[in-house]
């Protein structure tokens, strides 16, 4: 009986083993057939994902390059406009007074120049100088000093305008994005911005009230404030008037360029400060030494403007000192 059960168990074990082996064989066959299909689908999804990532990266890089190229083109346009503005004809006295921000007439300017020249001529004559030197001082100081002051005031006013101009453009950009008309944005600038931007935009707004078109008003602003930034604004507004386009984007790019130029100017000023200090010391040293010698031993140095030979030496020294100062000024002024 025990032998019969053993035989039956061995028979059942063989059937089970055969079934297990058959199942493993079928599983292996199914794996061999289905795995390439499943792995191919996974690889396809992986390739699609990689392709999508590459396309998105290329699009992002392309957008960055496009924005960078746009800013570079704006900078090149600004430099070209600056060169064109420098090649314009000589300024008239009336235009120089307007650009300096002074509210005086040409007659008043000439009267002030005459007073300054006569005062310096009297000072030179009272100091013991010859009559011809006093006459030279009258014409040189009377004609040169007031015009130099006009140039100084004009540059200072233009510098202040550039510093505030980017903020004014941001006001226009935000206003246009929120749906405000450009004229309303200009009125906001004319009432809230700092001088001289406020005054210039106020003249544009007042001209519009009298019927002057906006592009012509901006051209008049460029005549009063001959900066490449103002010219570019006038060009953008004229193009937008004729063809349309995204005005906020164009003005936003211009604002970014102005801020980058301001940062660059600050870096250049910081790097050239040492050279400017050295030039100022070298230029002022002869005058300081001359003043110290005059205070200590006046009879020793008064020969320079009382004796004819000393006068020639003094004139020659002043000439070469002026040449040296101009050369140093040219060396430390960087164009960017």
322 CB burial (10 A radius; 0-12, 13-18, 19+): exposed
10-residue mean pLDDT series, the chain (336 residues): 46 65 69 58 62 61 64 61 56 82 87 89 82 84 88 89 86 86 87 87 89 85 85 82 75 83 81 79 85 87 84 87 83 67
Angle between helices 214-224 and 197-209 (to 10 degrees): 140
| Per-residue model confidence (pLDDT) at position 7 | 47
| Per-residue model confidence (pLDDT) at position 2 | 40
DSSP state of 92: P
- CA–CA gap between residue 199 and residue 176 (Å, rounded): 22
- CA–CA gap between residue 108 and residue 115 (Å, rounded): 11
| Per-residue model confidence (pLDDT) at position 70 | 63
| Per-residue model confidence (pLDDT) at position 31 | 60
Q: Phi/psi at 38 (nearest 5 deg)? A: -65, -45
Render the burial of 45-63: b for 16+ CB within 10 Å, e for the rest.
eeeeeeeeeeeeeeeeeee
CB neighbours of residue 158 within 10 Å: 20
| Per-residue model confidence (pLDDT) at position 44 | 61
CB neighbours of residue 97 within 10 Å: 20
220 CB burial (10 A radius; 0-12, 13-18, 19+): middle
Containing H/E element for 21?
helix 2-86
* Alpha carbon distances (Å) from 188 to 194, 215, 318: 11, 18, 51
- CA–CA gap between residue 74 and residue 17 (Å, rounded): 83
CB 257 within 8 A of CB 313: no
Containing H/E element for 159?
helix 131-177
321 CB burial (10 A radius; 0-12, 13-18, 19+): middle
């Amino acid at each position: 009986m025990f032998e019969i059960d053993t035989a039956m168990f061995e028979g059942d074990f063989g059937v089970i083993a055969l079934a297990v082996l058959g199942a493993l064989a079928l599983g292996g066959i199914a794996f061999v057939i289905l795995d390439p299909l499943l792995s191919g689908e996974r690889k396809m999804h992986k390739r699609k994902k990689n392709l999508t990532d590459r396309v998105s990266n290329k699009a992002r890089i392309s957008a960055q390059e496009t924005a960078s190229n746009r800013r570079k083109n704006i900078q090149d346009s600004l430099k070209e406009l600056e060169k064109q503005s420098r090649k314009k004809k000589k300024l008239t006295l009336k235009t120089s007074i307007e650009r300096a921000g002074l509210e005086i007439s040409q007659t008043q300017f000439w009267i002030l120049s005459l007073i300054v020249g006569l005062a310096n001529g009297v000072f030179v004559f009272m100091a013991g100088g010859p009559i011809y030197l006093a006459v030279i001082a009258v014409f040189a100081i009377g004609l040169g000093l007031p015009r130099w002051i006009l140039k100084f005031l004009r540059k200072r006013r233009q510098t202040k305008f550039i510093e505030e101009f980017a903020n004014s453009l941001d006001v226009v950009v935000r206003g246009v994005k929120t749906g405000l008309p450009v004229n309303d944005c200009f009125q906001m600038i004319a009432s809230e911005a700092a001088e001289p931007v406020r005054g210039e935009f106020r003249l544009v707004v007042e001209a519009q009230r009298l019927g002057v078109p906006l592009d012509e008003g901006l051209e008049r602003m460029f005549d009063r404030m001959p900066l490449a930034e103002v010219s570019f604004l006038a060009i953008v507004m004229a193009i937008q008037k004729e063809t349309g386009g995204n005005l906020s984007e164009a003005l936003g790019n211009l604002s970014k360029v102005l801020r980058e130029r301001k940062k660059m100017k600050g870096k250049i000023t910081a790097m050239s400060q040492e050279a400017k200090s050295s030039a100022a010391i070298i230029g002022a040293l002869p005058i300081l030494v001359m003043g110290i010698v005059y205070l200590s031993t006046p009879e020793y140095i008064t020969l320079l403007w009382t004796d004819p030979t000393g006068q020639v030496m003094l004139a020659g020294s002043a000439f070469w000192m002026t040449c040296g100062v101009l050369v140093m000024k040219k060396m430390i002024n960087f164009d960017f």
